[in-house]
Chain A
C-alpha cells in the first residue's frame, strides 16, 4: 500500500506538473505584446517664437529643421505651407512634399512615395554598396532625371541644372512663397516620418511675405543699320543679335522672354519666347509677323525668381550731375526698333536681275584702251552679258565718289535686289597708288559679305584685287576663298594669261589693250595664291618668266560653291584678256552658280 501511495503521489505530481506546463504554455501561446510606435519629433530652428509674426524682406525664406525618433529612425520629412491669392480669398495648402532623410552622392532626394512605401525607398538608398549609386543613375539625377525606386519616383532637388535648389540637404530648404498680395501670410509645416511610416506632429512657423517689384530690363545691344534677314539660321547667317540685361536687387536669378512686333500679332496669341536665362538672342525673319516688312520692334521682359514679370517695358532712372545733384530723369526702354530687308532674290516669283558693280577707276575722256574711261568698261561688260544672253536682265552701277558725282557704293537694300553681283575692279589709276575713294573699305566689304551670308552669288574680276582696291586679306580669304602664296608678282609684265581648269577656258592677255611701253607684254603686280577651304582652282597663273617656279601653278582664279553662297573669283581683270575667252569664262561662271539659264 505504501508503494501504492508513493506511486499515486508521483502520478499526482506528474499530473500537476503537466497541468502547470500546459497552463503556462497556454498563456505563452497568445498574442505577443507589441509596444505602440512612438511618433517621431520634429523641431524647426531659426524661427521666431510661436506667438510672434514676422514679415520677411522678400518672398524667399530659408528654414531649417531636425527630426528624431525615440524608437527608430527618421526616414523622411514632409512639408507644406498655406497661402491665399489675396486678402479676400480663403487659405489653401500646397500639396505635401517629401524629402528623404539621406544624402546620396551629394543629392538631396525628393520622392512621391507615400508613408506606407517611403521606408522602402529610404532603405534602398541606405543599403547601397560602399561605392554608392551607380554612375548612370547619379548622372541621371544630376541631369534632373527621375529614378523609379520601389515603385516610387525619386529625383534630386539639387541637380546641376538648377542654380539655386530648394534643398541641398534634408534638414533645410530655401523656399519662395506665393506673394501676389501686398502682404501674404503663410504657415509652414514640417513633420518627420519614421521607419514605421508613422508621421509625427508637425512643427510649424507662421510669417508674412511681401510682394516684390518686377525686375527692370533694358536692351544693351541691337542692330544700328539695316540688316539682311532670312527666315532660318545658317552657317553664315547666325541671326540678328540683341543683348539685354535685367536688374532686381531681391532676386538671385532673372530670366527673359522676347517677341518681335508685339502689337502686330493677334491679341491673346503673342508668341513670347520661352523664358531663358540667356541675355542674348538671335532672331530671324521667321520671328516676324511679316517677314517682308522692313521696320520691326524688339521687346524683351524679365522675370525674377519670385515669378514677377516686368510688363511695364521701361523704367525711369535719375540723372545726376556729379555724385549728388539731380538734373533730370531718363527713361530706359525694354524695346527697340530695327530695320531689316528680306532679300528680294529669295522671295517667291523673283525675276533674275544681275548687278554689274563697276568699282574701277575712270580715266574719263582722255581714256585709251589701256586706260579706259568708265563708260568704255561698262560697254565692254554690257557687250559681254548681251553676248551671254542676259540682255535686259542686268543693271550697271558705277561706283563714284561723292566728290566726283552722284553715285556712291550701292546700299544693302539695293544689293539685295540682285541674285548675282558682278564686282568689277579691272582698271586702276596706278597700280602702286590706288585711288582712295574706290577702296573696298570695311563698310562696303561688309555689305558684300552680308549679301553673301544670306545666300548671294558674287563674281569678282579684279587686277590685284586685294591690294590696290584694298580688298582686305580677310575679305579675300573669307569670301574670295583665296590666300597669299608668295605675295604679288612684281616682275614687269609677267602675267600673260591663265590656264583654265574645271571647264574654264584658257585666257590670254589682249596685247591691244596693254600699255606695252610702260607695262611690258603683260600685266604686273598680279596676286596669285592658293584656294581656301572648299575653294577650287579654276585658273592657274601663266607667267612669261618664272625662273624660280614660284607662280607657275599658283591659283589666279578660284571657284567657291558653298552651302549658303557662291563666289567666282577671277583674280585677273577680264577686261585685259581677249574678249571671246573672257565671255566664255563669265558664261561658265554663271553656269556654275546656276544663273546662266535662269
Chain B
C-alpha cells in the first residue's frame, strides 16, 4: 500500500525539529538590566578650623574612579550617567555641597552584582585658601599614594540605584604644620543607600 501523505507528515515534523534546534541554541540565562551607581563626596571639617565658607577652598582633582566587582573585574565610573568618557573633575572639598553629601563625583550604569571597593585616583590642590586671602601650601609625603581605596561591600541591583557616600575627614587629612598643610588623606565609605 502506497502512502501518499508522507510529505505532509514530514512537514508536521519540521516545526518540531525547529523547536528542538531552538531549545538547544537557547542560553540558559537571560542578560539582566544594569543598575546605577551614584558616588558622592562628603567632607568632614571642624568649622572652627576650616569652615564650609565661600572664602575657603581646598580642591581635589579626581582623574579616575573605578569600581571593583567581587570577581576583581573593574569598571570605570564617569562623571555622570550620560558621560561617554572620564574627564578630570575638580571638587572643592569645603563646598557646601560636600558638607551635605550632595556633591556627585561619579555615576555609572553597572552590571548587577556584589562589589568590593571604589578606587579613586586623586591629586590634592597645591594650596588651600582660607578666609579668601591665606594661601597655605599643601604638601604630601614622599610615600603618598594617589590611589585612594575605599573598601566596602555593596550591591548593584537591576534597575536600582546604589548611592555610595565617600567621606574625607579634613581634620585628619590636612595636618597643620608651621606654615603648610600636610595632606595625609583619611577617608572611608560612610554610607551605602539603595534606592
Query: A residues near B, CB below 8 A?
Result: 235-236, 481, 530-537, 562-564
Contact = CB atoms under 8 A, between A and B. Distances in A.
B131 A235 contact: no
Contacts of A564: 178
A531 B134 contact: yes
B96 interface: no
Interface string B158-195: 00000000000000000011111000000000000000
Contacts of A563: 176-178
A335 to B, nearest CB: 33
A540 to B, nearest CB: 11
A564 B134 CA distance: 19
B133 A530 contact: yes
B136 A534 contact: yes
B133 A235 contact: no
A535 B176 CA distance: 13
A235 B179 CA distance: 9
Contact of B178 (A235, A531, A536): A235
Contacts of A534: 134, 136, 176, 179
Contacts of A531: 133-134
Given A534-B176, A536-B134, A537-B133, 5 more contacts: A531-B133, A531-B134, A535-B134, A536-B131, A563-B176
A481 B178 CA distance: 11
A563 B176 CA distance: 7
Nearest to B177: A235
Contacts of A562: 178-179
Interface of B: 131, 133-134, 136, 176-180
A531 B129 CA distance: 12
A236 B131 contact: no
A282 to B, nearest CB: 17
B175 to A, nearest CB: 9
The 10 closest A-B pairs by CB, nearest first: A533-B179, A235-B178, A235-B177, A563-B176, A236-B178, A562-B178, A531-B134, A534-B179, A533-B136, A534-B136
A536 B178 CA distance: 14
The interface residues of chain A, by DSSP majority, are classed as loop
Nearest to B179: A533
B193 to A, nearest CB: 37
A481 B180 CA distance: 12
Nearest to A564: B178
B176 A533 contact: no
B53 to A, nearest CB: 14
A530 B131 CA distance: 13
Contacts of A235: 177-178
Contacts of B179: 481, 532-534, 562
A534 B176 CA distance: 9
Nearest to A563: B176
A564 B177 CA distance: 9
A484 to B, nearest CB: 15
5 contacts: A532-B179, A533-B178, A534-B134, A534-B179, A537-B131
A53 to B, nearest CB: 52
B128 to A, nearest CB: 10
Contacts of B178: 235-236, 533, 562-564
Nearest to A532: B179
Contacts of A532: 179
Contacts of B134: 531, 533-536
A536 B180 CA distance: 14
A562 B177 CA distance: 8
Contacts of B176: 534, 563
A533 B177 CA distance: 10
A501 B176 CA distance: 23
Centre residue among A534, A535, A536, A562 by max chain B CB count within 10 A: A534
B133 A533 contact: no
Contacts of B136: 533-534
A534 B180 CA distance: 8
B60 to A, nearest CB: 21
Nearest to B178: A235
Contacts of B180: 533
Contacts of A537: 131, 133
Centre residue among B177, B179, B180 by max chain A CB count within 10 A: B179
Contacts of B131: 536-537
B113 to A, nearest CB: 28
B56 to A, nearest CB: 13
Nearest to A562: B178
